[in-house]
Amino acid sequence: GYDPDLVIEEVSRVILATQRDDDFEEVRPDDPFLQELRAENQSMMDLLADLRPLFRQERTEERDREIVETMQALRQVRAHFVRLQNIFFPTLEQKHEALSGLQLLWAWHDKAEEILEQSLATFADPKMKTDQLNRMAGELFGSYASMPFKEERLLYTVAEKLLDEEDWQAMYQQSRAYPTAFDIRKEVEEVDFSGLKADAALGLFSTGTGSMSFEQLNLVLNNLPVDFTVVDENNRVLYFNNPPHRIFPRSPAVVGREVKNCHPPRSLDKVDEIVDAFRDGSQSHARFWITVKERKLLIEYFALRDADGNYRGVLEVSQDITDLQSLEGNRRLTEWQA
């Protein structure tokens, strides 16, 4: 595999050297999904424009505080990245799976966010020297300011050639369930991802431990206190549940997607290792925990095997365990109050 950092550095250098707006026409200027994405990019560029004169001012505590506040606002760009990664990328992969450039774009997203967090830490430290601050400022501008150019040239133009009108409409519909960056769209719609097929709705899900209608099963799966995604033995996403407060965003576009394309490039090697260990039977469970926005998240992978022990895929389960960590003593059923 390639080293994402080296590839990003080299390709970014080429893009910045060749970035020109001459004779370039935006594809699908009236498309509602692209309009939102472009509006987010414009808001991001406005923030960068606000930052630029601040860097030229004499360094004071007030200046550094204003820089940090403006940088913190840049964190909203994550909502833009999430919609590209969970809607745009998998939709394109369905048309042309060999679009390896999508992983490079994802790596750019990760690198930009990494640089932003490093910049915030740097400017919040009064002991940092001016040359260190200037270097971080340059990296920050280089990573974010080039994003709209990359999207227009490397993503939207390719999508225009590969996708049909139904694809564009589906992407926009799915995007309505996601928040936008910078409140470009105020509301987040409750988009129904769970539409039952007519034939499924008429049948029963039945096992040796009981049965229920597919509608009831769907209600159960979407009201579990966990997010989960099912991947088959061929490393394809089969299904994900859709609880009210999903931790990690998913859209219907990921169904059928190769699981390696559902993870950031830097974690691909570990994903492959886990799947290989599940497949050869040496492992059946992997557990990780991370802190995001002061919430403790537990992420677990379970190998799926049939009655004969054959590997049939992976169950990925994520849960916010912040409140569970604070439990002490007992609270019995008899103590419940309405």
Give 21-61 as a DSSP string: -TT---SSTT-HHHHHHHHHHHHHHHHHHHHHHHHHSPP-H
Tell me, what amino acid is at 257?
R
pLDDT (tens digit per residue) in 247-261:
998 999 999 999 988
Give the DSSP letter of residue 67.
H
Q: What CATH architecture applies to the domain 4-183?
A: Up-down Bundle (1.20)
Instruction: Please give the pLDDT value at position 194.
Output: 55
Instruction: Please give the pLDDT value at position 265.
Output: 87
3-state SS assignment for residue 98: coil
User: What mean pLDDT, rounded, does the chain reach?
Assistant: 89
Residues of the chain with CATH 1.20.120.520: 4-183
Q: What are phi and psi of 92, to 5 degrees?
A: -65, -40
Partners of residue 287 on adjacent β-strands: 300
Residue 243 has pLDDT above 90, yes or no: yes
Q: Are 305 and 311 in contact (CB under 8 A)?
A: yes
Going by pLDDT thresholds of 50, 70 and 90, the confidence category of residue 101 is: confident
Instruction: Please give the pLDDT value at position 130.
Output: 86
pLDDT (tens digit per residue) in 107-140:
999 999 999 999 999 988 888 888 899 999 999 9
Instruction: Please give the pLDDT value at position 7.
Output: 45
Q: Higher pLDDT residue, 338 or 32? A: 32
Percent of the chain, pLDDT > 70? 88
Residues of the chain with CATH 3.30.450.20: 212-326
CA angle 268, 274, 280 (to 5 degrees): 130
Residue among 41, 1, 17, 84 nearest 9 (CA): 17
Q: Higher pLDDT residue, 1 or 127? A: 127
pLDDT (tens digit per residue) in 193-203:
655 454 555 57
Spell out the CATH class of 212-326.
Answer: alpha beta
Instruction: Please give the pLDDT value at position 15.
Output: 54
Worst-scoring range by mean pLDDT, 18-27, 59-68, 87-96, 240-249?
A: 18-27
Partners of residue 205 on adjacent β-strands: 212
Q: Are 168 and 28 in contact (CB under 8 A)?
A: yes
Residue 84 tokens, joined: 């590209």
Residue 143 has pLDDT above 70, yes or no: yes
Tell me, what amino acid is at 9?
E
Worst-scoring range by mean pLDDT, 61-65, 67-71, 97-101, 186-190?
A: 97-101
Identify the burial level of 315 via C-beta atoms within 10 angstroms of its C-beta, where 0-12 means exposed, 13-18 middle and 19 or more buried. middle
pLDDT (tens digit per residue) in 293-336:
899 999 999 999 999 999 999 999 999 999 999 999 999 999 99
Q: How far apart are CA 168 and CA 186, in angstroms?
A: 21
Q: Are 68 and 123 in contact (CB under 8 A)?
A: yes
Residue 33's CB is within 10 A of a number of other CB atoms, namely 21
Going by pLDDT thresholds of 50, 70 and 90, the confidence category of residue 186 is: confident
Worst-scoring range by mean pLDDT, 15-24, 74-83, 276-285?
A: 15-24
What value does the mean pLDDT take over residues 163-189? 93
Torsion of CA 196, 200, 201, 205, to 10 degrees: -120
Helices 165-175, 32-56: crossing angle, 10 deg rounding: 60
Residue 36 tokens, joined: 């939102």
